[in-house]
Structure 1
């Protein structure tokens, strides 16, 4: 292999390593929780996964697998279930993406005691990992007319209290 070919190969290899390492980022859960969390990719992969079917921007149904957002919030000690009454009903969640795009959810719309809709932090679509432009983690909100809260490249989940 020539010296220039070796240099190009080395640069491509290093670029692939950097891209791969930036792809698998941890997710933080903080704010109005009893325990702030930093979940590594291995932690998220080990958690029980649920599957939902939803139409993406392409208008086609896809099968998304991931962790129900409420399960992540419970793990961090956010108010859920019977605790969601009184002033706890004024708590909300802001999900943030790597590009600083944000979406807001009220805690009751995430909780199975209030809704039948399952909102996921997905890590796969149709049995495959999410593509790099959408993953490694994406919020999936089934049955919304516009997928504007389907945040790609999720980096943080913050629970706040409306005062």
Structure 2
């Protein structure tokens, strides 16, 4: 499998943007299962939820990389998106800026068919998921193709413009 997004994030100089388009990922994830059973992350106990991804984001932001994440979600939101929403404080603590776009407000936007990262507006990383929300066996595809990179950049900015900042988004 190709290297994870954190490797590309470590090389980013200016920006890293992530567009999420699914209403569920890895439904067998132990963290999600625990959440379904009522377990919630304790904001005050950072050591219980801070991990390598948070370190990578914090390091990138510290060197001036703008890290933004936009989530296009169906409403009413799925249980999994509710789980993500409740844990978004971890992304924010690391330095990401997060926005939410209700899917019905995405009408008219031309969006890629899958989630992606875009690094410095020069390299895209597509994520290929199976039907049950797991990365498939060869689930990461990097490209420097200018047309695909532009498609991703335009799609992300169109979503970002319509999306609601996390602190103002109230899921239905």
Give the TM-score normalised by the residue count of structure 2. 0.26
Greater CA radius of gyration, 1 or 2? Answer: 1
Bigger relative contact order, structure 1 or 2, given CA contacts below 8 A and separation 6+?
2
Q: Which has the higher helix share?
A: 2
Higher strand share: 1
